[in-house]
Structure formats: C-alpha cells, structure tokens
Amino acid sequence: MTGCPIRTDARDTYWTWEHASDVHELYRRRTLGQEEEMTAHSQAADLLAERVKPGDTVLDAGCGSGIFYHSLVKRGIDVEYWGVDATASFIEMGREILPKFGLPSERLLHATFDDIDGEVDHVICINVLSHIDNYHRPLERFLKMARKSVILRESMKHGGQYQYLPDRHLDEGADLSVHVNHYDLDEVRAFIVDHGFNSRLVTDEHTGGEPYKSIDYLHYWSFLVADRKA
C-alpha cells in the first residue's frame, strides 16, 4: 500500500472566490473607497441606522474585505464593526487597507459561519446565503448570535429554487459552479419567526424588487429585516 490517497488541502481549489481576479480587483478599489457605494450597502446601512444605539456591535457576516465598513463611516453610524469571511485573500485585503480608514485589522476575522459563535447586537449579511448550498445553518447561527437584529439581503421569492450553475466570471481554467439559490420568502420568514424575531420584507432599492441578472443569472434580491421580539 502507498500513502493516503486523499488530500485534505483542496478547499481553496474548489472555492470560487479564490479564483476571481476581476472580483478581487473590484473589491480592492471598493475597499480603497475608489468606487461608488453599492446601493445594497447604502440601503443596509440606512436600515441598520434605524435600529442601532451608539457603541452597538455589528457583525458583517460574509463581509468580503469589509467594504461595508465605509458605509457606516460615511453616515457616522457609531458602532463597533466586525467582519467575518471564509475567503482568506479578502480578509488579508481588508486588514491591509481598512486600518488606514480607522478599522483595527483584528476586527476582520477569517472564519466560516460554522466556526463562529458569540454575541453581537446586530448581524448584517449581504449577497452571501444565495450563493451557498443552503441558508438554515448560517441563518440559525446569526439569529442565535444577534441580541437585537439581523438584516439580510438575499435572493428570495415566492417558491424556492435551488440551482448549481457554471460561474463564467472566474479566471481562465477555473471550471467551477456556483450556487444560485432563490429561497422561499415565506419559508425564510417562518424560520426567522420560529427563532424569536419579527420579520419585515423591504423592497430592494437597487433592483426595485424586479428580477435582476447578477453573474449572468436572474436573482430576486430582497431585504428581510428581523428584529428580536421583546
């Protein structure tokens, strides 16, 4: 018998976000504050501003390089920002750039949602769960961790749809697929309510609530705002 036939270091080989140079370039410019603010970020920041108290802690779940931090600073929203993301190169980018804008590098954590626990006042999660295999485990964790609110911007509609499709925006030679899931609105809202929160559906400003092509595929972007019941 030869050695072990199984490798245990293949995660990055199959992790789409580590094979997207164009996305990395865009994230770098956004992290440097050289791009216009995303409407999804401005809307999320406005929704957050309505419910934060000075000094509240905010977890940006699937933060990329932490670009959303700029939206908080721009509005003078006085919170303690924390970001978690599973893509090492995004976290490295944020740790390199955002301290120049006032964010201590240790506020950006390299971890997956399975790894995290603890308590924060608010969780925001923008354009993340629609591109992973399912929402239950991460959303359960966010609802457990959030003392006050969870703000989601994901692809949701009446009647869920799960798809796994070629990602044509990756680097040459990266032949990988991406989850393009549209979660059933009523099901997600019931899940949120079952975990002790109210849920409010808010029309997405960027798309006006209309189907919208992102990475070549239609998405149904919507905000759900969950406030913990008293």
Ligand X SMILES: C[S@@+](CC[C@H](N)C(=O)[O-])C[C@H]1O[C@@H](n2cnc3c(N)ncnc32)[C@H](O)[C@@H]1O
Residues within the interface to ligand X (CB under 6 A): 17, 62-64, 67, 84-87, 90, 112-113, 126-128, 132
Nearest in space to 82 (alpha carbons), one of 96, 97, 98, 66: 66
CB of 128 to ligand X, least distance (A): 4
Nearer to ligand X, 105 or 112 (CB): 112
Residue 164 in tokens: 């796994």
Residue 101: φ, ψ to 5°: -105, 10
Nearer to ligand X, 16 or 199 (CB): 16
Residues in Cβ contact with 155 at an 8 Å cutoff, skipping those fewer than 6 apart: 130, 180, 181, 182, 183, 219, 220, 221, 222
Nearer to ligand X, 19 or 230 (CB): 19
Nearer to ligand X, 52 or 128 (CB): 128
CB of 90 to ligand X, least distance (A): 5
Nearer to ligand X, 92 or 198 (CB): 92
At position 161, the amino acid (one-letter code) is Q
CB of 146 to ligand X, least distance (A): 16
CB of 139 to ligand X, least distance (A): 12
CB of 227 to ligand X, least distance (A): 21
Where does the chain have alpha helices with state H? 21-31, 39-49, 68-74, 88-97, 136-145, 185-194
By DSSP bridging, strand 57-61 and strand 80-85 are parallel
Tell whether the torsion through CA atoms of 204, 205, 211 and 214 is positive or negative.
Answer: negative
